[in-house]
């Protein structure tokens, strides 16, 4: 590098293509040489500094003489204070004032070390003094003018040539600035430190002293005043038990149900207690899947009876203290009508007891075509899902195997088109059966299927009519049960149904005349049935408080090669729907159109049982939920019409196949097959609230 003897000039661009800008003129005086004439003489003697072009230095860069100045502030100027090795005599003689007029590389290095922040610029014009003892500023121009510094293995480093950040590792014991003083304690940083310590101390004291004292005092006050302390002055004080969520059902009996109707006497003389009720008093309730713990509004076409409407959850809602099932001429899903169906399938089931609903029927009693219904079906069959009722509906058979379980009942005369019983009591060992040894099925009991009856044939003086039925299989000859065990209580309003069945069902049924005022919200009437399961059981139907007719198990006793049909022993789910189909009755569309939209209104649904009743979908010996969970496809796809379409076969049985049948389950096996959900479906209490 070519050296310029003018102490204020800049290096040439050839030696430093990017020279640093000169320091401000106000500071150049401090960097002028003390003896310019002596410096020129010394430079002329050195070939390094007399060359006009860049020259590499062959000499090692040695630390400059301290000239009596201590490298640290506490060093004295004595000769013993200097620990640096001797410098070149020539260099010392040639530049007697160099350390005064120019800063050495060590000084520069020490000066650079004042840049404590990693984000500081090396060109900051800081006035902070160097730890090496120099009070002058530093810039790279000074170094470039003085040395040609190249990386070399001979570059010497000395322990005393420390950087400024080493002060934190080797502080100056005489540096008064580094000591803590009282004035610094009240600085911003000191206040933050003291505040943090104070906060932690207070927190520890409150946690381990204040909180125990507070809880002890509160307990002492509560024990002294168990009825409530100062509740008169505190409106938020609770001195008695309250339900946490009044809008959430926590029991099976609706709190709006009057106490006067929470018990009744059954047809068998036993006292029955209200075990479930829904008064539908809360407006705006919806019944999409998951909206309600007990009911679900369906979203499908009820194809098994070829209905003309699509069942839509939008058509089922509560208002004005009643449940509304609305039927209107709303085209959807390629159908011209829309209506509602409500089911409790696999949510709320009962076995034995009394089921009642207060209903205002839709439309007019003298206009035929609407098909409102309130009924129940065994939980192993899901209404509207034909694959689940295949070989199940409307069977209700004893626990033996005979021709009654075979396809068509083995009758060549076309009495039955049923495919045979899917789950008889004699299925082969290890067959797919929910409770081996028990006949399982999906029977149906109807509280009401409303239509129209003409008092003056053929089509005059029309009034409302209720069909109250028990659908059963296998069939009696010509679908005729033993009428000696059937009773109609008032022949002026009830009579045996002329329709006794067909190739898919035997209908044990009666027709009951209705008042035409019980329609369209003008008035409500109750429709109910009471039953006791088993071969020696019975079913009694009601309209209002009056019994209309009754059938016992003896009416469905053994007949020919057919064995005992039993009053349903299955857990029964609840269905309420408002449909229309010419498979049930004639359609007077001209008379129905002015009535649309029409609404079926249900004021309440109630279930009563005596001590023998079971409010569960998994009663003893007749579990259902585990079997349903193991066959999810047919119970979720309403488009399947046969069990085989879901990938399952009818289990083989010992009567039709050469196999050994399973016997009835022992108690341990029955408990194993019972799912855990049985406990949640069993009524834990007779009341809503705990």
Higher-pLDDT residue of 688 and 660 is: 660
Per-residue pLDDT, 675 = 46
Q: Check whether 151 has a pLDDT greater than 90.
A: no
Q: Check whether 157 has a pLDDT greater than 70.
A: no
Q: Write the DSSP assignment of 113-132 as a string of letters.
A: TT--STT--TT----PPPTT
Q: Check whether 237 has a pLDDT greater than 90.
A: no
Across the range 455-481, mean pLDDT stands at 93
SS3 state at 358: strand
Per-residue pLDDT, 189 = 84
Q: Which of 324-333, 342-351, 407-416, 654-663 has the lowest mean pLDDT?
A: 654-663
Helices (H) and strands (E) in the chain, counts: 15, 22
Per-residue pLDDT, 208 = 94
Per-residue pLDDT, 532 = 97
Confidence of residue 457 (pLDDT cuts 50, 70, 90): confident
User: What residues are paired with 453 via a beta bridge?
Assistant: 463
Q: Write the DSSP assignment of 398-452 as a string of letters.
A: -SS-SGGGSGGGG-TTSS------SB-TTBBTT-S-SSTTS-B---EEEEEEEEE
Per-residue pLDDT, 224 = 74
- Kindly give, in sequence order, each residue whose CB lies less than 8 Å from that of residue 81, ignoring residues fewer than 6 positions away: 70, 75
Confidence of residue 234 (pLDDT cuts 50, 70, 90): low
- Spatial distance between the Cα atoms of 465 and 450, rounded to a whole number of angstroms: 6
- Spatial distance between the Cα atoms of 597 and 312, rounded to a whole number of angstroms: 14
Per-residue pLDDT, 158 = 56
Q: Check whether 390 has a pLDDT greater than 90.
A: yes
- Using alpha carbons only, how large is the chain's radius of gyration in Å? 51
Across the range 241-255, mean pLDDT stands at 71
Q: Give the start-end residues of each E strand in 556-597.
A: 572-579
SS3 state at 646: helix
Specify which of 157-161, 178-182, 539-543 reaches the highest per-range mean pLDDT: 539-543
Average pLDDT, the chain: 79
- Spatial distance between the Cα atoms of 685 and 30, rounded to a whole number of angstroms: 100
Residue from 361, 356, 320, 370 nearest 521 by CA: 361
Per-residue pLDDT, 161 = 57
Per-residue pLDDT, 311 = 98
Q: SS3 breakdown of the chain: % helix, strand, coil, rounded to 5?
A: 25, 25, 55
pLDDT tens profile 95-107: 444 444 444 444 4
Per-residue pLDDT, 186 = 78
Q: Check whether 286 has a pLDDT greater than 70.
A: yes
- Give the predicted TM-score (pTM) of the model: 0.64
- Spatial distance between the Cα atoms of 384 and 341, rounded to a whole number of angstroms: 10
CB 480 within 8 A of CB 603: no
Specify which of 125-139, 211-225, 435-449 reaches the highest per-range mean pLDDT: 435-449
- Domain chopping of the chain, boundaries: 25-179, 180-237, 259-659
Per-residue pLDDT, 190 = 83
Burial class, 541, CB count within 10 angstroms (exposed 0-12 / middle 13-18 / buried 19+): buried
Residue from 653, 630, 372 nearest 518 by CA: 372
3-state SS of 260-298 is HHCEEECCCCCEEEEEEEECCCCCCCECCCCCCCCCEEC
Q: Which residues of 391-429 are buried (b: 16+ CB within 10 A; e: fewer)?
A: bbbbbbbbbebbbbbbebbbbeeebbebebbbbbbbbbe
Residue given tokens 């922040």 in the structure block: 117
Instruction: Name the helix (H) or strand (E) containing 461.
Output: strand 460-472
Q: Which residues of 257-280 are buried (b: 16+ CB within 10 A; e: fewer)?
A: beeeebebebbeeeebbbbbbbbb
Q: Check whether 587 has a pLDDT greater than 50.
A: yes
Per-residue pLDDT, 288 = 96
Alpha carbon of residue 105 to chain centroid? 71
User: What residues are paired with 423 via a beta bridge?
Assistant: 440
Check if CATH label 2.60.120.200 holds for domain 259-659.
Answer: yes
Work out the end-to-end distance of the chain between its first and last CA atoms, rounded to an integer number of angstroms: 98
Residue from 405, 358, 400, 355 nearest 377 by CA: 355
Residue given tokens 């309600």 in the structure block: 292
Confidence of residue 178 (pLDDT cuts 50, 70, 90): low
Confidence of residue 188 (pLDDT cuts 50, 70, 90): confident
Confidence of residue 584 (pLDDT cuts 50, 70, 90): very high
């Amino acid at each position: 590098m070519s050296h310029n003897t003018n102490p204020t000039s800049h290096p040439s661009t050839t030696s430093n293509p990017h020279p640093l800008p000169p320091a401000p003129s106000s500071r150049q005086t401090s960097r002028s040489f003390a003896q310019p004439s002596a410096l020129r003489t010394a430079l002329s003697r050195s070939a390094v500094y007399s060359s006009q072009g860049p020259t590499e230095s062959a000499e090692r860069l040695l630390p400059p003489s301290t000239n009596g100045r201590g490298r640290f502030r506490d060093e004295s100027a004595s000769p013993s204070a200097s620990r640096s090795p001797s410098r070149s005599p020539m260099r010392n003689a040639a530049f007697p004032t160099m350390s005064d007029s120019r800063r050495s590389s060590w000084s520069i290095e020490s000066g650079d070390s004042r840049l404590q922040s990693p984000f500081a610029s090396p060109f900051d014009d800081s006035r902070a003094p160097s730890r090496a003892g120099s009070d002058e500023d530093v810039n790279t121009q000074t170094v470039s003018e003085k040395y040609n510094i190249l990386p070399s293995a001979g570059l010497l480093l000395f322990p005393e040539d420390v950087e400024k950040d080493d002060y934190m590792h080797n502080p100056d014991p005489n540096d008064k600035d580094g000591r803590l003083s009282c004035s610094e304690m009240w600085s911003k940083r000191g206040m933050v430190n003291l505040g943090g310590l104070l906060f932690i101390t207070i927190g520890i004291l409150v946690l381990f002293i204040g909180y125990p004292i507070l809880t002890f005092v509160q307990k002492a006050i509560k024990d002294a005043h168990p009825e409530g302390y100062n509740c008169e002055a505190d409106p938020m004080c609770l001195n008695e038990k309250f339900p946490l969520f009044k809008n959430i059902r926590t029991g099976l009996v609706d709190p709006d149900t009057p106490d006067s109707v929470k018990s009744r006497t059954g047809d068998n003389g036993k006292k029955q207690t209200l075990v479930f009720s829904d008064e539908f008093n809360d407006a705006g309730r919806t019944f999409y899947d998951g909206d309600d713990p007990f009911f679900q509004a369906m979203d499908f076409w009820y194809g098994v009876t070829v209905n003309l409407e699509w069942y839509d959850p939008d058509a089922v809602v509560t208002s004005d203290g009643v449940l509304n099932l609305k039927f209107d001429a709303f085209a959807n899903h390629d159908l011209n009508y829309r209506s509602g169906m409500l089911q409790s399938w696999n949510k709320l089931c009962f076995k034995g007891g009394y089921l009642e609903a207060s209903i205002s029927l839709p439309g007019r009693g003298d206009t035929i075509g609407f098909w409102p219904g309130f009924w129940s079906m065994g939980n192993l069959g899901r209404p509207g899902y034909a694959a689940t009722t295949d070989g199940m509906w409307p069977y209700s058979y004893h626990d033996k195997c005979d021709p009654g379980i075979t396809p068509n009942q083995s009758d060549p005369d076309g009495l039955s088109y049923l495919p045979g019983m899917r789950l008889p009591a004699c299925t082969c060992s290890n067959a797919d059966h929910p409770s081996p040894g028990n006949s399982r099925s999906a029977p149906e009991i109807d509280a009401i299927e409303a239509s129209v009856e003409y008092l003056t044939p053929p089509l005059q003086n029309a009034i409302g009519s209720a069909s109250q039925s028990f659908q059963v299989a296998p069939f009696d000859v010509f679908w005729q049960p033993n009428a000696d065990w059937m009773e109609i209580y008032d022949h002026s309003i009830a009579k045996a149904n002329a329709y006794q069945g067909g190739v898919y069902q035997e209908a044990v049924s009666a027709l009951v005349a209705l008042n035409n005022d019980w329609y369209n919200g003008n008035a409500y009437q109750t429709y109910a049935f009471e039953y006791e399961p088993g071969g020696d059981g019975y079913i009694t139907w009601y309209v209002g408080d009056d019994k209309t007719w009754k059938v016992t198990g003896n009416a469905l006793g053994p007949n020919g090669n057919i064995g005992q049909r039993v009053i349903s022993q299955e857990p029964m789910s609840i269905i309420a729907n408002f449909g229309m189909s010419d498979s049930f009755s004639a359609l007077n569309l001209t008379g129905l159109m002015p009535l649309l939209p029409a609404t079926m209104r249900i004021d309440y649904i109630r279930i009563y049982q005596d001590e023998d009743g079971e409010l569960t979908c998994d009663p003893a010996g007749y579990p259902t939920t585990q079997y349903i969970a193991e066959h999810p496809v047919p119970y979720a796809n309403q488009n399947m019409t046969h069990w085989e379409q879901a990938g399952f076969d009818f289990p083989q049985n010992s009567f039709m196949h050469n196999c050994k049948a399973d016997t009835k389950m022992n108690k341990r096996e029955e408990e194993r097959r019972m799912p855990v959900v049985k406990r949640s479906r069993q009524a834990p209490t007779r009341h809503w609230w705990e």
